[in-house]
Amino acid sequence: MSESAIIVPGYTPSIATRPVRLHPRAAARVRKAIAVAKARSIDWIIVSGGAVHPPGTPFVEADEMAVELIRGGWRKDRIVREPKARHTYTNLRNCGRIMLDRDWATARVVTGLIHALYMGFPSLSQFEEVTLQNLGYAPGTLSLVGPGQLLFAPSDAVRRPGKDPLDR
């Protein structure tokens, strides 16, 4: 199945004590997303992440990753910003909403290896439990398709409003 987009979840460590414009891990995800998009002829990249860590940071992960995409030669008009997600499960929920609005069936999530394993093997991690506890549903299906890469197909459940007003 051909993916309509790539999703790049943001990254700032939860233990950050000072604002970081773009963490090196997030920058690496962006560079990897450009390479994967070119190799797979994918036209759209969704960058997802809000102003997360530390509390009060002025930097929005999606905005900073978009700047890095443009620096890397990606076309500005082929970037979709999702600037509100604050967790992996809200990255998927909010990007799932974007995908459904655009009639995109699947997207390739490009992230780090450990993060992909966390999402791709929920029985070995707490991802599924945390997601169900916080959203009340699974945002869609995920399957590991390569190192640090998953195929994501959103569920209609992503349209349900979340508990956190920033994540709506």
**Strand runs labelled E in the chain:** 5-9, 44-48, 79-82, 107-110, 140-146, 149-154
Convert the pLDDT of each residue in 83-119 to its tens digit.
999 999 999 999 999 999 999 999 999 999 999 999 9
Convert the pLDDT of each residue in 63-85 to its tens digit.
999 999 999 999 999 999 999 99
Give bridge partners of residue 82 from the DSSP assignment.
48
Q: Which domains does the chain have, with CATH numbers?
A: 5-163 (3.40.50)
The pLDDT of residue 1: 64
In 3D space, the residue among 110, 87, 86 whose CA is nearest the CA of residue 37 turns out to be: 110
Q: Kindly tell me if the per-residue pLDDT of 12 is higher than 80.
A: yes
The pLDDT of residue 163: 73
pTM of the model: 0.96
